[in-house]
């Protein structure tokens, strides 16, 4: 099949959406499908990649990480790709310019269109516009989401929690839960000792690791409080935080206030194929407390690297965090969380058990298996669309 994915974000912008797109695209191409991607151009020197159309985009005010594409430019690129060879289906990944163009061009070209609902905006936005009461923007987001879902042929969500969100919005579209898979083989690499050496971390020093975008919604403030508590009993414990984002300066200031800055390393963005794997493996425990995660891929990545996980279970992470699957689940309580992390750090046998469990468990999330499900969904959607479209004349279809 020839599929066009359209997204307002992609690498070098690092987040779960970019990872999901790359994982599914690579896996579907390995199955023999022609998967094209339209995404923003972030810098003039972005490397050209086969099958990826970069659209000129302008910076988003007050948001240096993101770009805003021209809807008209995306329209033209979809039309060009369709003229080059007919597109079977458009898969929208984000609800901004990509959504507007993807949906509009699907109607013009009379092809089916589905969308993945990656982000729980109702919770996400509260962290960035806290001065607007939830009672104001919550119904607005729900209304916008319902309108955006009109005339789509299907919806994908990454977890059962997000399916409940969609049902609570009274959206009746055919919706399938399809999480992003993981390649356990890729995460079998990595050199934790080399990472420690590069960052001057003693081989025996206990290390907590957190990897991800440094945003308010990740609730890293809580983890800094947990680290502060652990230092009372294990004063050598180092907290490595990998990633960048709008909360970075705030976290540095908070660590100064707590007096823990000397025991924290902010290491920025790391290359996903090399130094990121090293960072995971440098940790004795991976810690996570996001309240808005729709899946929580970093948890699977940590497990694949053999790193024990201690995490809260909120929203989409509940589908991943299961008993005897490489993780210990605790409430968002500083004392309880700190006590659990300390237990992992102090008990090598517990670390080994959780490591074995996690590495076995991630094989249940194989990227190739989940890509087969997505390919099946594409085929089912196009078949259903073709059957329903046969009831209309070409003129009616082109103007609907």
DSSP 331-385: -S-HHHHHHHHHHHHH-HHHHHHHHHHHHHHGGGGBHHHHHHHHHHHHHHHHHHH
Cα Dmax for the chain: 74
What is the pLDDT, as a whole number, of residue 398? 37
Give the closest residue to 5 by CA, choosing from 110, 77, 68. 77
Distances (CA, A) of 112 to 11, 69, 81, 173: 26, 22, 15, 13
Q: Which are the contacts of 185, defined by CB distance < 8 A and separation ≥ 6?
A: none
| Reported pTM | 0.90
Whether residue 189 has pLDDT greater than 60: yes
pLDDT band for position 334 (50/70/90)? very high
Q: Which are the contacts of 324, defined by CB distance < 8 A and separation ≥ 6?
A: 357
Tokens standing for residue 288: 């996570």
Tokens standing for residue 163: 């399916």
pLDDT band for position 393 (50/70/90)? very low
What is the pLDDT, as a whole number, of residue 125? 64
- On whether the 186-364 domain is CATH 3.20.20.70, my answer is no
pLDDT band for position 63 (50/70/90)? confident
Distance CA 140, CA 145 (A): 9
Interval 315-333 mean pLDDT: 95
What is the pLDDT, as a whole number, of residue 154? 97
Interval 7-31 mean pLDDT: 96
Give the closest residue to 179 by CA, choosing from 303, 300, 354. 300
Q: Which are the contacts of 202, defined by CB distance < 8 A and separation ≥ 6?
A: 196
Choose the weakest-confidence range: 1-5, 6-10, 57-61, 122-126.
Answer: 122-126
Q: SS3 of 239, please?
A: strand
What is the pLDDT, as a whole number, of residue 45? 81
Strand partners, 89: 3
Interval 145-163 mean pLDDT: 95
CATH class of 2-181+366-399: alpha beta
What is the pLDDT, as a whole number, of residue 127? 61
What is the pLDDT, as a whole number, of residue 395? 42
Q: Which residue has the higher pLDDT, 62 or 37?
A: 37
Domain boundaries, the chain: 2-181+366-399, 186-364
């Amino acid at each position: 099949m020839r599929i066009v994915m359209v997204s307002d974000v992609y690498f070098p912008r690092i987040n779960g959406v970019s990872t999901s797109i790359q994982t599914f695209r690579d896996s579907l191409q390995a199955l023999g499908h022609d998967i094209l991607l339209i995404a923003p151009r972030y810098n003039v020197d972005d490397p050209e990649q086969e099958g990826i159309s970069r659209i000129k985009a302008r910076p988003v005010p007050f948001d240096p990480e993101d770009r805003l594409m021209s809807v008209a430019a995306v329209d033209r690129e979809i039309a060009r790709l369709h003229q080059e060879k007919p597109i079977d289906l458009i898969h929208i990944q984000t609800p901004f310019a990509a959504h507007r163009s993807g949906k509009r061009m699907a109607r013009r070209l009379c092809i089916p269109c589905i969308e993945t609902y990656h982000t729980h905006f109702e919770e996400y936005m509260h962290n960035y516009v806290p001065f607007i009461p939830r009672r104001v923007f919550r119904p607005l987001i729900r209304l916008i989401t319902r309108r955006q879902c009109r005339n789509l042929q299907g919806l994908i969500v990454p977890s059962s929690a997000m399916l409940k969100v969609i049902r609570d919005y009274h959206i009746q579209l055919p919706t399938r839960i399809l999480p992003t898979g993981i390649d356990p083989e890729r995460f079998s690499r990595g050199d934790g000792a080399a990472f420690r050496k590069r960052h001057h971390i003693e081989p025996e020093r206990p290390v907590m690791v957190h990897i991800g975008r440094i945003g308010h919604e990740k609730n890293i403030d809580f983890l800094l409080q947990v680290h502060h508590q652990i230092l009372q009993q294990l004063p050598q414990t180092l907290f490595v935080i990998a990633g960048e984002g709008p909360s970075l300066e705030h976290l540095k200031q908070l660590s100064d206030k707590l007096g823990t800055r000397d025991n924290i390393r902010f290491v920025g963005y790391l290359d996903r194929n090399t130094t990121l794997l090293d960072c995971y493996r440098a940790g004795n425990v991976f810690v996570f407390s996001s309240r808005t995660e729709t899946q929580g891929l970093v948890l699977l990545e940590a497990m694949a690297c053999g790193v024990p996980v201690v995490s809260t279970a909120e929203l989409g992470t509940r589908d991943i965090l299961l008993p005897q699957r490489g993780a210990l689940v605790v409430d968002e309580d500083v004392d309880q969380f700190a006590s659990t992390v300390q237990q992992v750090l102090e008990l090598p046998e517990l670390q080994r058990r959780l490591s074995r469990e996690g590495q076995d468990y991630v094989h249940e999330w194989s990227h190739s298996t989940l890509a087969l499900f997505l390919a099946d969904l594409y085929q089912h959607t196009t078949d259903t669309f073709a059957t329903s479209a046969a009831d209309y004349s070409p003129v009616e279809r082109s103007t609907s």
